[in-house]
Structure 1
Amino acid sequence: MYIAIDGDDVGRKITASYISNSEGELAYISNKLNNATKKISDFLSANGFEIIFQAADGVTAKTAVEVNFNDVFNTVKSHSFDGVTFSAGVGKDLREAYIALLNSKSNGKNMISIYNDM
């Protein structure tokens, strides 16, 4: 199974930093996102996932281990900060995980969608 995780509305926060000419805020967002995605990746790795992608505000991983993805997502949510939340999608391949992620982002954000349950 694959999980795709992506920060919600991060682009808007980055844009606001540019428009307000705030180098400090831009660096702050960058550092917090790097820390959050690193912690998420470390958590997933420690729980049997193979990290495929970790960059900017996203992480994608796969596992052959049986896991409760709702429990996994509760830990992912714990890495939210300053109004930056994460959405996730789960599927049997990358495409399904991405479609499930889009479902989460389209239906309120800060949630997980599992392709088979959509």
Structure 2
Amino acid sequence: MRPLLSPDAIHPAIKETVSAYHSDIVQEVIQAVAADGVVVVGMKQNPIVKKARKSLQVAGIEFTYLEYGSYTSQWHKRLALKMWSGWATFPMIFVDQMLIGGNAELQALLKDPDAQSSSLKRI
């Protein structure tokens, strides 16, 4: 398991700066994850994000898509999401309020007929 910096190891003078870093974007994702069964967080021009979305569409699985910039824009917003989730790449895919990973992990779940997630069960 990747070690995380303890909140006690952050100096009081910067705690607010750390916790407020693009918190609006993090809250937007938290709200979507709480409200919807499947959420894909991605960015423009990323072919892996497009593959994940296409796979969900082909499987007939409804999802919410949140897009934050492209390779050259809004990187700071995506950084806040990476810091929050601990997942370093896009897409970030959430199923039943749990981060399942990215496209490779999604493909494995879609191929598994015994997938535990009700939101990914085929109709």
Under TM normalisation by the shorter chain, which class is it? 0.3 to 0.5
In terms of fraction of residues, the more strand-rich structure is 1
Compute the TM-score of the two structures, normalised by the length of structure 1: 0.37
Q: TM-score, normalised by structure 2?
A: 0.36
| Greater relative contact order structure (CA < 8 Å, 6+ sep) | 1
